[in-house]
Copies of this chain bind each other. A is one copy, B any other.
Amino acid sequence: MPAYKTPTKYENFSEWFEWIIAEADIYDYGRYPVKGMGIWLPYGFKIRQHVINIMRNLLDETGHEEILLPILLPETIFKRESEHVRGFEEEVLWVTHGGREELDVKLVLRPTSETSISYMESFWIKSYKQLPKKYYQIVSIFRYETKMTKPMIRVREVTTFKEAHTVHEDFSDAERQVMEAINIYKRFFDTLGIPYIISRRPQWDKFAGAIYTIAFDTIYPDGKALQIGTVHNLGQTFTRVYDVKFQKKDETIDYAWQTSYGISERVIASIIAFHSDDKGLILPPIVAPYQVIVIPIQHTDQDKYRKVIEYSNSIVQKLREAGFRVYVDSRNELKPSDKYYEWELKGAPVRIEIGYREYANNLVTIFRRDTLTRKTVALDSLVDEVKNMLEEIQRSLSERAWKWFKEHVKMASDISEALEHINNGNVVLMPWCGYEHCVHEKIESIEGVDALGEPLPTSLSQLGISSPSDKHCSFCGKPALKYMLIAKRY
């Protein structure tokens, strides 16, 4: 038992989050001597690998090809596209010296890779026969954040940036790709049990260089919205500047069309934020480094203890053969209660406790992390029981998350009502006429509150929200055609 009072998830989320990532051996933050940069620790690194693998599978099976571009790009190439540069120039890091020499041309640490990949696509893309072309990479990107940094959420080195870049022969194929990307991200977040609302960002908040941006937002335990994924239709912005031309079927030459879409380690922060309680993490089995922890319980009689160990080993073997990720915690220096505490903190979904009683009766005691309940089952049914329990945990974490999420999306028809909801830890949907200038001046002038955009109809139906056709715009009183999503955001 810790001597100090640990922070709690809903009362002081930021402290709780920093406590859990440190204690559960996930991410070392704040001790590294550069602000806004942290270290993935062994246990956290394993979670990260499982998350990355899920994303890789989704992209590979939809025809995306993984590549790896350099981190550095010359200023001269980076600055060719002026709108994009304006969006990023305040927050890029510059390499100016190599050894003792000053470089002839400064190099930028990529904040994202639209510019460098477009430059290369001018060599790679020649003909409509190659299109659509879908590239992706999973890399570090750098943003010199001047706002308050937060581990995994707002950092200066984003270590886990999955960026996809696609090339198309016309606008409509790029539109199709935007839909494909949205569906991939939905499947990704659904697999992880992270709830979301999908919105078309207002023009003033789109990606620098895009025609439009679609964003996935989730809600954190403190009621703030966090952007966890974006999809951009880039039109011909970059292909015109970097001269990405191709021959069409009719033998004319045109600039290609592009999309890009990105996901970062905010996804991992969101797994932690949603699936956990004040005792620690609760990992969805699909990303848990160890899905089952086996703990042989010591016995004062050494012969009996030996039987317990043998019995535990046979159980581990059975579970591994069945394909589960299993870890045996046989550290002698710790009491069972210390081990229970540690694995509850680290969020192992299922724990198996094996004492002499279990051995003697061919039984197994199984502890379920999310409900904190125990049951004892016959050895014969072990594999089925564990399989069912892991599936049940996976399903139940997702259901619980979505239930909480839906409860925190509120409706409001005027600004004071909206602010009340927001101050109580919610995000708000407001009926809206659909004109951006109507919402812009009213909302963006309120300190700390933003208009995040127009939720997509499919996203609204997923939340059980019907169209606002019988309502009026919360800002101007004209008939409402849409909703605007309003929230405090990270």
A contact residues vs B (CB 8 Å cutoff): 28, 31-34, 37-42, 45-46, 48-49, 65-74, 76-77, 89-101, 107, 109, 116, 119-120, 123, 129, 135, 140, 144, 146, 157, 159, 333
**In whole Å, how far is A226's beta carbon from the nearest beta carbon of chain B?**
22
Evaluate contact between A39 and B68: CB separation under 8 angstroms.
yes
CB-CB < 8 A to A97: which residues of B?
Answer: 93-94, 96
CB-CB < 8 A to A96: which residues of B?
Answer: 94-97
Evaluate contact between A89 and B99: CB separation under 8 angstroms.
yes
- Inter-chain CA distance A95–B89, complex, in Å, is 15
Identical chains in the assembly:
2
Interface centre among A46, A94, A98, A333 (most CB of B within 10 A): A98
**In whole Å, how far is A438's beta carbon from the nearest beta carbon of chain B?**
33
**In whole Å, how far is A3's beta carbon from the nearest beta carbon of chain B?**
18
CB-CB < 8 A to A40: which residues of B?
Answer: 67-68
Chain A residues touching B, majority SS: mixed
Q: A95-B95, A100-B90 are in contact. Are A159 and B68 (CB under 8 A)?
A: yes
Q: A33-B119, A39-B69, A107-B34 are in contact. Are A95 and B98 (CB under 8 A)?
A: no
The 5 A-B pairs of least Cβ separation, nearest first, read A98-B144, A42-B65, A37-B70, A40-B68, A94-B97
**In whole Å, how far is A44's beta carbon from the nearest beta carbon of chain B?**
9
Residue from B42, B99, B157 in contact with A90 in the complex, judged by beta carbons closer than 8 Å: B99
**In whole Å, how far is A262's beta carbon from the nearest beta carbon of chain B?**
19
Residue from B66, B74, B89, B159 in contact with A34 in the complex, judged by beta carbons closer than 8 Å: B74
Evaluate contact between B120 and A31: CB separation under 8 angstroms.
yes
Assuming A33-B73, A45-B66, A90-B100, what are 11 further A-B pairs, CB within 8 angstroms? A28-B120, A34-B107, A39-B120, A45-B68, A68-B159, A92-B99, A93-B95, A95-B95, A95-B96, A96-B96, A99-B146
Interface centre among A33, A69, A135, A333 (most CB of B within 10 A): A33
**In whole Å, how far is A377's beta carbon from the nearest beta carbon of chain B?**
31
CB-CB < 8 A to A48: which residues of B?
Answer: 68
Residue ID in chain B nearest A100 by CB atoms: B90
Evaluate contact between B71 and A42: CB separation under 8 angstroms.
no
- Inter-chain CA distance A144–B102, complex, in Å, is 12
Evaluate contact between B77 and A33: CB separation under 8 angstroms.
yes
**In whole Å, how far is A298's beta carbon from the nearest beta carbon of chain B?**
19
CB-CB < 8 A to A146: which residues of B?
Answer: 99
Evaluate contact between B71 and A144: CB separation under 8 angstroms.
no
Interface centre among A31, A94, A159 (most CB of B within 10 A): A94
Evaluate contact between A71 and B71: CB separation under 8 angstroms.
yes
Q: A32-B120, A95-B94, A95-B95 are in contact. Are A39 and B70 (CB under 8 A)?
A: yes
